[in-house]
Every structure is written in structure tokens, then in C-alpha cells.
Amino acid sequence: MSLNKQVKIILIETTNSGNIGSALRAMKTMGFDNLCLVSPKDFPSENVETMAANARDLIGRIQVTQNLDEALEGIHFVVGTSSRMRKVPWPNEALDKVAATIIMEANIKKNIAIIFGREDRGLTNDELQRCNLHVNIPANPEYPVLNLAMAVQVVCYQLYIESFRELKSSSQDHWDVPMAEANHIQRLIEHFIEVAEQLEVFNKGNPRQIGARIKRMFTRIGLDEMEVNFMRGFLAAVEKKLEDK
């Protein structure tokens, strides 16, 4: 599978050329570079370049067509974005629920088009009926109206993360210091309690099971070795001052 080759983003009759540039930038941030404009109202335009920012290298590759048929050539699976409920209900799925399906279609080598409608009226019924699937972006029912380029960003983001599921590792894998052993943390806790007792801080308004609270605090943090060593050094320095006294 090569998502960026197989997925084509189609914008129909876009009015605001700034949205075209923003959509292109949004696509590039998620690794997509295949944009098609059906009868854009204002293209080419300087606004596209301005809003595309560092995706402007992709402007030259934008496909422009007269109609949707032409745009859908070579496409196997058509997804329409839509928030409106239709008279004739179409399979309409929430983006987060359906991203896996779209990725699966790509996995079996289908070319996929994702169609976004006009800023003011979305997709026509004719256009929606060309789609295998309607997708809605889950949104505030009182104001579900995402800007066009925002919608492109969210759809591309959801497909991007879906394409990586199970591949991603957490940053904690790259912690710069090894995690401390439980026994070292245990010794730190004992040391801390000892010092706290010497400082007589236990009974000064800290009544409620403070020993248990200290243990809980230091164990749940997940300390690394350097942190344990530093805290031990800190406590040793306090003790030394107490002895010197």
C-alpha cells in the first residue's frame, strides 16, 4: 500500500482559493499529495501559493478537471464527505469509525477518492450518489460546520494515524535514562522518610497516613535512575547539614 499514491483528494467548485492552498498544506502535513480540483472558481491564484506555505512545491501537480467523471477516472472506491442527512439514507459513517475501512480498501490496492463539496452547499445529491460511502466528521451538533480546509486536515489526519496503527511506539521508548529498579525506589522512599523524621515534619499538620502518601507519590511517578540518584544526593546533603549542626 502506498497511501499517498492511492488516495486522491477532490475539491468540487471551490470558491475561496485560499482554501485550496490551505487544503494542500493540510494534505502534505499528513503525507498526501494528490489533489484534484473540479471546476474551481478561482484557480490559479496567488492565494493558493500564500496559503500552501511549504506545500507550494505541490501546486504544479494539482489536477484540474471540468467535471467529477473526469476526476474519478481510475478510481475504485469513492468517499463523499457530508454532514447533511439525506432524504434517501446512504451509508453514512463517522470518520473515526470508518477510517479503518478506507485503509483496508487501499490495502487491497484500490484507488480511493475522497470528495469535498462547495464551501456553502457541500455536495449535490447527484455527486453523493456517485459515492460508495458517505463520511461525516463527528462534530458539535449545534455547529458542525468545519471550514473546508479544516475538514481536509481532519480527514487526512484520521487516515494517516489509522495507517500506522500498531506501528507507532511511544516516546517513552526513547527515554534518555534507564528507569530505576523498584528496589532503588524503595530505598529512596526509606531514606526520604528517615530524613523527614529527623526534620520533624511529620506532625506539623501532615497527619493523614503521610508515610503511605510518600510511598504512593514516589512509586507512581515512575522515576528514572538519574532522578533517584539525584534525590538520594539531595537527601544525603540534608543529612550532612543536620549532622554538622
Q: How far is the CB of 166 from its own copies (least distance, A)?
A: 11
Residues 94, 95, 100, 104, CA torsion sign: positive
Q: Which CB atom, from 1 or from 94, has the smaller least distance to its own copies? A: 94
Q: Which CB atom, from 126 or from 174, has the smaller least distance to its own copies? A: 174
How far is it, in rounded angstroms, from Cα 28 to Cα 33?
Answer: 6
Cα 123 from chain centroid (whole Å): 26
User: What residues line the site for its own copies (CB under 8 A)?
Assistant: 22, 25-26, 28-31, 53-55, 88-89, 91-94, 96-97, 137-140, 143-147, 149-150, 153-154, 157, 160-161, 164, 168, 170-172, 174-176, 196, 199-201, 204-206, 208, 210, 213-214, 217, 220-223, 226-227, 229-230, 233-234, 237-238, 241-242, 244-245
Q: Which CB atom, from 67 or from 206, has the smaller least distance to its own copies? A: 206
Secondary element (H or E) of residue 23: helix 17-29
How far is it, in rounded angstroms, from Cα 133 to Cα 32?
Answer: 20
Q: How far is the CB of 152 from its own copies (least distance, A)?
A: 9
Q: How far is the CB of 110 from its own copies (least distance, A)?
A: 16
Q: How far is the CB of 161 from its own copies (least distance, A)?
A: 5
Q: Which CB atom, from 74 or from 205, has the smaller least distance to its own copies? A: 205
How far is it, in rounded angstroms, from Cα 92 to Cα 6?
Answer: 22
Q: Which CB atom, from 29 or from 124, has the smaller least distance to its own copies? A: 29
How far is it, in rounded angstroms, from Cα 190 to Cα 194?
Answer: 6
Q: How far is the CB of 191 from its own copies (least distance, A)?
A: 13
Which residues neighbour 77 within 8 Å (Cβ) at sequence distance 6 or greater? 102, 105, 110, 111, 112, 113, 132, 133
